[in-house]
Structure 1
Amino acid sequence: MFNDDTEYELSRGSDIVRDGMYLELTMANTDPVLQLAEVFYSDVTHQFTLTCYEPNIPLAIIEDLIEQAKKLLPPIEK
């Protein structure tokens, strides 16, 4: 993900403590890793939540994060 020469990365994972999955937005090439935002999908409530850890994240980046989370996080129904 790119915006104004800033490179972003997405990471997907599961969280057994919170009982769900997350998609995490980080700034690329930072050490330590700079976590910007996270979308979490709860297996308990079947709802998404957005948490921002840094201010002033471009709206287009947040919109892309949310769109990707909708595609990548909910369980596949058969």
Structure 2
Amino acid sequence: MAKIQYNLTRGSDVIRDGMYLELSEAGTSPFRQIAEVFYSDVTHEFSFSCYEGCIPLKEIEKLIHEAKKLLPPTKQEP
């Protein structure tokens, strides 16, 4: 049995007014999104959505860890 490979993809969502980091299964057609962390520019909060059952905890931990680093805006010092 082949081991499932996963991808992380970061993007901007103008409709929801924020950014996301999504976990997907690599090499699937059609695209298979597994889970997502969303950062709202309106509320300045993170939310987590899961679209599949039985996801390896390691992959969820990686998704959350990377989202905390990559999603919130950084402030530029003058």
Identity %: 61
Q: 2:48 aligns with which of 50, 55, 72?
A: 50
- Runs of 4+ off more than 2 Å: none
Task: Select the structure of larger CA radius of gyration.
Answer: 2
Matched, 1:74 2:68: no
Q: 1:41 aligns with which of 39, 42, 48?
A: 39
Aligned residue type for 1:17? I
User: Size of the alignment, in residue pairs?
Assistant: 75
Q: 1:5: Cα distance to partner?
A: 2.0
Aligned residue type for 1:53? Y
**Cα RMSD between the aligned structures?**
1.1
What is the match of residue 12 of structure 1? 10
What is the match of residue 57 of structure 2? 59
Q: Distance in 2 between matches of 1:64 and 1:51?
A: 14
Where structure 2 has 5 or more consecutive residues not aligned to the other structure, the ranges are none
More strand by share: 1
Q: Distance in 2 between matches of 1:60 and 1:5?
A: 14
TM-score (ref. length: structure 2): 0.92
What is the match of residue 22 of structure 1? 20
TM-score (ref. length: structure 1): 0.92
Aligned residue type for 2:45? Q
SS in 2 for 1:61: helix
Deviation per residue, 1:8-32 (Å, 9 max, x gap): 0011110011100000100000000
